[in-house]
Structure 1
Amino acid sequence: MPYINNTVGGLSVRSSYIAALYFTLSSLTSVGFGNVCANTDAEKIFSICTMLIAVYGFWKVHNCTQNKKETKQRNEEEAVMATTSDRE
């Protein structure tokens, strides 16, 4: 009996890789793999792209806040060094 995509023996190799990548990214990005999930290859590719864009966005926000922390710490250290060198 043929499957939905008219192949005998299961999904095509392309569809299998898309499904595997979708499952991996949805698990790693904590989106989950629950009862609401993509069914077609187009839905899975769209979800994969959306998850990658979201990961990039979170990474940029993290780097921005981390750089501000490092700059603030460096400025505080320079201020302490300036005040201690003034006392000498």
Structure 2
Amino acid sequence: MRLQDALFNLLQIRLVAEARPDDNAARETLDFFGQILREDHHLSHVEVAAVDETMIHVKYTADGKTKTELFDREHAERLLADIEANPKYN
């Protein structure tokens, strides 16, 4: 899995896990993508550094260097919106 895809997937499921703290599947999926980033991409730290009207800034450390990736906020929040809109998951 490409680094940008793994970061985006981690971001999406992190938003879900934070909004739904009792959702065990979300927490397990969050751990899964965290493991991919650690083991496959050798990242030592990943965090949401900032959120503005249109973008979510994800900061991470790779090879001792801190980098930032920007993701479209609406696109990143889509999974949570889809879950919340489906009565099966509420």
- TM-score, structure 1 normalization: 0.28
Task: Say which structure is richer in helix.
Answer: 1
Larger relative contact order (CA 8 Å, sep ≥ 6): 2
Larger radius of gyration: 1
